[in-house]
A = this chain, B = another copy of it.
């Protein structure tokens, strides 16, 4: 009972990562701060958009060099795509540019909320899986859609806690639990995280990892927040495994009455 096995890490797409925190690169004030935040977060997997990097050889000091220095794996995304066709095309470009068949698949359905379009997403996922990609789809927190994405061969499902950059946290914890029950692949909470307790909660709900960008990159102190997120994800994972106490309406004395001194 009390011999705690340390967290042996998180496996997705056949790769094992020591950290359960995945970091997005958007929103950082500059590369120097971003590098410090990446290092402070302890992450081993970082997302980036094709259009945000200059991939030409010889370009120095850029995002790719930074991520290479940090020793993290790249996870290109298809941010800004509104149809399956567009997302598939960007995924292929990214595969060539970054020499990886991993893709964070985004097919946006609404420009104000940036929430995904499930129908287009499922279509793109099927096609990319068939093309040999390791597909990690950014999806809504709809449990049935999540299961269908897993069914077509996605390597994980990545439900939104809340809209990208909103900082609203996990809008519907019940849905995250339902998703955790309905798929075998890893569940990665993606989008909406605002602060450390949100990340801890996501892990306590059974998520295998948390992906966030703005919560760190747009914080007043991104490096401190990256450290906070690192600890929060670890805390939430440990708590999930540690078997929390049940909720009780009334109290349960931690100090029993026996043995009180006579007064």
| Interface, chain A (partner B; CB < 8 A) | 1-4, 24, 26-27, 29, 32-33, 36, 40, 49-52, 77, 79-80, 86, 89-90, 93, 109-110, 112-119, 122, 140-145, 147-148, 162-168, 171-172, 174-175, 177-178, 181-182, 194-201, 204, 213-215, 217-225, 227-232, 234-239, 241-261, 263
Given A164-B253, A214-B252, 7 more pairs with CB closer than 8 A: A2-B33, A2-B222, A52-B259, A140-B140, A163-B248, A196-B200, A229-B235
The one of B32, B257, B263 in contact with A90, judged by C-beta atoms closer than 8 angstroms, is B263
Q: Which residues of B sit under 8 angstroms from A221, Cβ to Cβ?
A: 1-2, 4, 241-243
Known contacts A118-B119, A245-B218; is A254 also within 8 Å of B197 by CB? no
The 9 A-B pairs at the shortest CB distance, nearest first, are namely A220-B243, A26-B254, A165-B252, A109-B144, A228-B238, A231-B235, A196-B239, A163-B251, A232-B235
Q: Are A197 and B166 in contact, with the CB atoms below 8 A?
A: no
Copies in the complex: 4
Q: Are A244 and B225 in contact, with the CB atoms below 8 A?
A: yes
Q: Which residues of B sit under 8 angstroms from A224, Cβ to Cβ?
A: 4, 238-239, 241-242
